[in-house]
Amino acid sequence: MRSMKSAMAAAAAGLALAIGAGSLGAAEQEAMTDNPFFAASPLPYQLPPFDRVDDAHYRPAFERGMAEQIAEIAAIAGASDPPTFENTIIPLEMSGRLLDRVASTFFSLASADTNDAINAIRNEMAPRLAAHTDRILLDGDLFARVEALYEQRTALDLDDESRRLVEEYYVDFVRAGARLSDAGKERMQAINARLAALSSRFTQNVLDEVNASAVVVDSREELAGLSEGRIAATVAAAAARDLEGQFVIPLLNTSGQPALDSLEDRGLRERITRTSLARNSRGGEYDNRGVITEMARLRAERAAMLGYPNHAAYILERQTARTVAAVNERLASLAPPAVANAEREAADLQAMAAAEGTDLELAAWDWSYYTEKVRAERYAFDASQLRPYFEMDNVLENGVFFAANRLYGLTFEARPELPVYHPDVRVWEVFDAGGAPLGLFLGDFYARPSKRGGAWMNAYVSQSHLLETAPVVANHLNVPKPPDGEPTLLTFDEVTTMFHEFGHALHGFFSDVRYPYFAGTSVPRDFVEYPSQVNEMWSTWPEVLRNYAVHHETGEPMPADLLDKVLATQQFNQGFATTEYLAASLLDQAWHQLTAEEVPDAAGVEAFEAAALEAAGVALDTVPPRYRSTYFSHIWSSGYSAGYYSYIWSEVLDADSVEWFKENGGLRRGNGDHFRSTLLSKGGSIEALDLFRAFRGADPDIRPLLVRRGLN
């Protein structure tokens, strides 16, 4: 029942919707007769027909999709025959196909290319899909059939994947509240509806604030230190806002901002940093403090209703970490060495400032600027020297695609004739070794005001033998788009991100499961980042790097000494990077290990955040959390609540796996085939750590991570 599972995730992220037919406008009534979602797409791999989709199509499609699924569920729940796997679980998996088609497209565009109409639909109607999901999961007759199959699952003639599917459905129903009283179910539905609405509001507030908070600069002199290309981008951003003659520095949805590494004007650096850190907490229509405190309180209440001490305990039960204690122990063990490294790095930066004759006291807005100076002195290069060698198309085709070919035998063919939702989006058909078609890959790499921050992968269509579908997978980045005619030159971090997100895409492409429930990246949250983090290793693998790191004008390869310096800096600034990440992870846990009574009110958000960071030992003024609470989209609107620790948890598996690849010859087809067959192809059909053990041949070892991050 992929669509129901997708709907559950969407509701948790605040992106769910549907409305009553009586509220359809004239355009939507007309869209009922020619709606591209009403039938499976005729395009290759069922790619959504973006050229035929109009905003007016969404409401009718959601309405009909929900009605169809409810009818399908009623037929299952009301059947007179005793429950069997074939008459209960299989129909559940196959229900909601129309709903799945419209949801996958709508939610993707709500993140990648939204507009006022989409925002209005999402914000107004978010509670409706949450209610739709509850109607299914709280159906007593349906649960009785699932429970009966669960209790006799060992006696049924089922293969391992089918038996696991029964078990997973049973747990989903129980965790949704299927065992609650009628009054409890009613309260659960109210909580879920309110959370969906709040999450949607949070998302919109963050996007609106990040656009409204772009820093406007009056003179070119203030931009001293930025490259000509980056200055040109600020001119283009100003023109897009009708601010001719001025310069605009857009903000990313992180605490730190890219311009801080180069701007010489300390006052401007401070203004950018303070603006970034204050987002969504300054009063006014975009203030998220009341939103997050109400969400935290409702999540805690819901967990208590289901028998858990807090929301974190509820979430972690289904992750590989399993318990709050395990996550707390891991984060607590990493924080002291990370902070110690950050303090040593801060001393180096302070010394650099003093050596230049500056008597400043190091502040958060100075960190990136002096980090680049220390890097240049220590390794005789700065990060800007790399950009001419990282032209985006070259990185993608001769780096990311090249590594996938060497490791897995994949080939890629551009399909420019296929429709896309924005002119910046491109499509490739992916072929397996031997030429068999595998799926479609969409690349959407440029930032724009209609796109949320960050980088992510999503699947428009997931692989399933039951549904006879193949993957349609998209990667999204937020690379600033240069002026027309200028090359897109990436930072080293953006290169790494491109490899990372394609690791998620590979997880989707290599899925080889029967049931859509388990397809692709449908794995625990603290396991899903692991394969993508492993794929980052190929960005600096010598054979791959030599193939893509060439000067965009001369075609000359990156000099060997510059490459050596890049590799030598892998542990550079890791104290800062680890501390800012851990601070955000610890904030996530602090919010979600509260009871409902312990959650502060909106006015107490800043004090709560400061106290939580102090208690965890990561309260450094020079190193703010990567995300502060009020714009922490991962945990309030993107499904990572109590789960932001997942990146470091997954990195333990990643670092250990990188050692395996090195021990076994690196970029070899045999290694790729082993990783694919034992792990990437299995999706969620097998317990996550069992997949790791099947690949690695041992339990995870934390030591490679400690060495990588300089924490040993």
What one-character-per-residue DSSP string does 183-227 give? HHHHHHHHHHHHHHHHHHHHHHHHHHHHHHTPEEE--GGGGTTS-
Catalytic residues: 501
Q: By mean pLDDT, which of 264-268, 305-309, 559-563 is the weakest?
A: 559-563
Q: Give me the domain span that covers residue 230.
A: 213-277
Whether residues 270 and 392 share a domain: the answer is no
For residue 663, count other CB atoms closer than 10 A to its CB: 9
* Residue 638 domain flag: no
Q: What is the mean pLDDT of residues 356-362?
A: 94
The domain that holds 490 is classified in CATH as 3.40.390.10
d(CA 549, CA 392): 10
Angle (nearest 5°) at CA 682 between 678 and 688? 85
Do the bridges between strand 426-431 and strand 247-249 make them parallel or antiparallel, or are there none, so unpaired? Answer: unpaired
Q: 7-41, pLDDT tens digit by residue?
A: 444 444 433 222 233 344 555 555 567 899 999 99
Do the bridges between strand 456-461 and strand 437-446 make them parallel or antiparallel, or are there none, so unpaired? Answer: unpaired
**Could you tell me if 333 and 585 are in contact, meaning their C-beta atoms sit under 8 angstroms apart?**
no
* Residue 352 domain flag: no
* Residue 429 domain flag: yes
Phi/psi at 608 (nearest 5 deg)? -60, -45
490: pLDDT strictly greater than 70: yes
Of 709, 659, 258, 229, which Cα lies nearest the Cα of 492?
Answer: 258
The residue type of 616 is A
* Residue 59 domain flag: yes
DSSP-derived 3-state class of residue 248: strand
Do the bridges between strand 437-446 and strand 215-217 make them parallel or antiparallel, or are there none, so unpaired? Answer: unpaired
Beta-ladder partners of 413: 429
Whether residues 168 and 238 share a domain: the answer is no
Listed in sequence order, the residues at least 6 apart from 448 whose beta carbon sits closer than 8 Å to its beta carbon are 113, 422, 424, 481
d(CA 476, CA 595): 36
172: pLDDT strictly greater than 50: yes
Q: What is the mean pLDDT of residues 489-509?
A: 96
Q: Residue 4 burial by CB count (10 A; 0-12/13-18/19+): exposed, middle or buried? A: buried
**Could you tell me if 550 and 558 are in contact, meaning their C-beta atoms sit under 8 angstroms apart?**
yes
pLDDT confidence tier of residue 509, bands split at 50, 70 and 90: very high
Whether residues 45 and 159 share a domain: the answer is yes
657: pLDDT strictly greater than 90: yes
Mean pLDDT across the chain: 93
The string of DSSP codes covering 553-565 is TT-PBPPHHHHHH
* Residue 549 domain flag: no
Q: What is the mean pLDDT of residues 95-122?
A: 94
5: pLDDT strictly greater than 60: no
Tokens of 243: 């601010």
Q: What is the pLDDT of residue 462?
A: 97
Q: Give, as one character, the DSSP assignment of residue 307.
A: T
Whether residues 230 and 119 share a domain: the answer is no
Q: 390-405, pLDDT tens digit by residue?
A: 999 999 999 999 999 9
Listed in sequence order, the residues at least 6 apart from 567 whose beta carbon sits closer than 8 Å to its beta carbon are 540
The string of DSSP codes covering 665-677 is TSS-HHHHHHHHH
Q: What is the pLDDT of residue 126?
A: 79
Q: 544-562, pLDDT tens digit by residue?
A: 999 999 999 999 999 988 8
Which of 222, 257, 277 represents a domain boundary (last residue)?
277
Which of 277, 296, 312 represents a domain boundary (last residue)?
277
User: How many residues appear in the chain?
Assistant: 712
Which of 472, 497, 525 represents a domain boundary (last residue)?
525
Whether residues 93 and 155 share a domain: the answer is yes
Q: Label each residue of 371-436 as H, E or C.
A: HHHHHHHHHCCCHHHCHHHCEHHHHHHHHHHHHHHHHHCCEEEECCCCCCCCCCCEEEEEECCCCC
Whether residues 56 and 169 share a domain: the answer is yes
266: pLDDT strictly greater than 70: yes
Q: Give, as one character, the DSSP assignment of residue 594.
A: S
* Residue 261 domain flag: yes
- pTM beyond cutoff 0.95: no
The residue type of 355 is A
Phi/psi at 216 (nearest 5 deg)? -95, 130
Whether residues 103 and 228 share a domain: the answer is no
Tokens of 475: 């990667």
The domain that holds 77 is classified in CATH as 1.10.1370.40
Whether residues 506 and 451 share a domain: the answer is yes
Q: 331-357, pLDDT tens digit by residue?
A: 999 999 999 999 999 999 999 999 999
Q: What is the pLDDT of residue 20?
A: 32
Whether residues 101 and 229 share a domain: the answer is no
Q: 510-526, pLDDT tens digit by residue?
A: 999 999 999 999 999 99
d(CA 627, CA 580): 8
Q: What is the mean pLDDT of residues 401-420?
A: 98
63: pLDDT strictly greater than 70: yes
Q: How many domains does the chain have?
A: 3
Q: What is the pLDDT of residue 30?
A: 57
DSSP-derived 3-state class of residue 490: coil
Whether residues 15 and 77 share a domain: the answer is yes
Q: 445-466, pLDDT tens digit by residue?
A: 999 989 988 899 999 999 999 9
Tokens of 592: 């979600």
* Residue 480: its H or E element: none
Whether residues 253 and 149 share a domain: the answer is no
For residue 48, count other CB atoms closer than 10 A to its CB: 25
Q: What torsion, rounded to 10 degrees, do the Cα atoms 451, 453, 458, 460 define?
A: -10
Q: 125-134, pLDDT tens digit by residue?
A: 778 999 999 9
Whether residues 172 and 252 share a domain: the answer is no
**Could you tell me if 650 and 700 are in contact, meaning their C-beta atoms sit under 8 angstroms apart?**
no
Q: Give, as one character, the DSSP assignment of residue 175.
A: H
d(CA 88, CA 69): 14
Of 535, 539, 531, which Cα lies nearest the Cα of 678?
Answer: 531
Of 72, 75, 82, 94, which Cα lies nearest the Cα of 145?
Answer: 82
Q: What is the pLDDT of residue 27?
A: 54
pLDDT confidence tier of residue 503, bands split at 50, 70 and 90: very high
What is the percent of the chain with per-residue pLDDT over 70, rounded to a whole number? 96
**Could you tell me if 643 and 315 are in contact, meaning their C-beta atoms sit under 8 angstroms apart?**
yes
* Residue 298 domain flag: no
Question: Within 13 Å of residue 172, how many CA atoms lie on the same side as its CB?
Answer: 25
* Residue 160 domain flag: yes
Q: What is the pLDDT of residue 711?
A: 84
Tokens of 204: 């919109």
